Amino acid sequence: MSAALVPPPAAIVAEDVARALAEDLGSGDVTAALLPDVADSAYLLCKEDAVVCGRPWFDACHRALDPHVRIDWRVREGERVAAGTVLATLQGRARALVSAERASLNFLQTLSGTATTTAAYVDAVRGTGAKILDTRKTIPGLRLAQKYAVRCGGGVNHRIGLYDTVMLKENHVRAAGSLTAAIQAARAMHPALPLIVEVETIAQLEEALHEGCDRILIDDFDAAMRREAVRIAHAVPADRRIPLEVSGGVDMTTLRAIAQDGVDCISIGGLTKHVRAIDLSLKLGPPPAA
């Protein structure tokens, strides 16, 4: 399995699932109790084109309620599927299958939605060399899950949180007195952490390039400024080049042109913020004949 498709640790998945099941089941599933507690089967249907993501959470939901459930997946994690695809079949206790249905689908539809959206953005910049990055604009409590979904869709994770990367913005520059002073203070306090610097002008860009950092974020530059920033940043040997990231004003209508200007990364909050769930259903009984 590639590093991109390595999910969060099992303990994190279990915590996510425990919260979801407690929220849904409460003191007990009064509707599932109407069903006979007998062995039954079910199948998982995808009703639209999608990139599948979330199998670990789906499996954990069902195994939490029926440790002996059998889940046979017909597709891989991260695989693109067409509408009408049967993703998996299940064999287990009828009540448990029904009780786990909603929570398992909620994870799978949400994470598949993030992966599918990310894949569309990745496709749109293919051949340009630009990478699609996510942000911290995630559903509270599901950041690691959504960041994993971004990787399943071919995107790249930005920082995970406020602890693993130093990111200097206008407030830090204002407090330090200058961009140079802010960079020097960050390097002194956190020498081992990656440093990303946001710049708002070409002059600040040149200052950041002079001082050095791991990535420069050119925020809300217009097209002319963006191309000038690329020209300046690329006017050094490749082994000393600092990657440029674009953020702000990015959507499917502007994405390709931004990538073709030569930037290295494009960060898009909508990958995880504007979630449109994939249409899935879990039905009792065997799947329909092909």
Q: Which residues are catalytic?
A: 102, 137, 169, 198, 219
DSSP labels, 222-239 = -HHHHHHHHHHHTSS-GG
Chain-centre distance for alpha carbon 152:
8
DSSP letter string, 72-110 = EESS-TT-EE-TTEEEEEEEEEHHHHHHHHHHHHHHHHH
Q: How many CA atoms lie within 13 A of 159 on its CB side?
A: 15
Give 46's Cβ-side CA count (13 Å radius).
Answer: 26
Q: Which residues share a beta bridge with 41? A: 91
Contact criterion met (CB below 8 Å) for 197 and 217 = yes
Q: State the Cα angle at 117 between 111 and 161, rounded to 5°.
A: 60
Q: Where would I find the H helices in 94-222? A: 94-124, 143-152, 170-176, 179-189, 202-211
Please state, in angstroms and rounded to a whole number, the distance separating the CA atoms of residues 104 and 55.
Answer: 9
Distance CA(135)–CA(250), nearest Å, equals 13
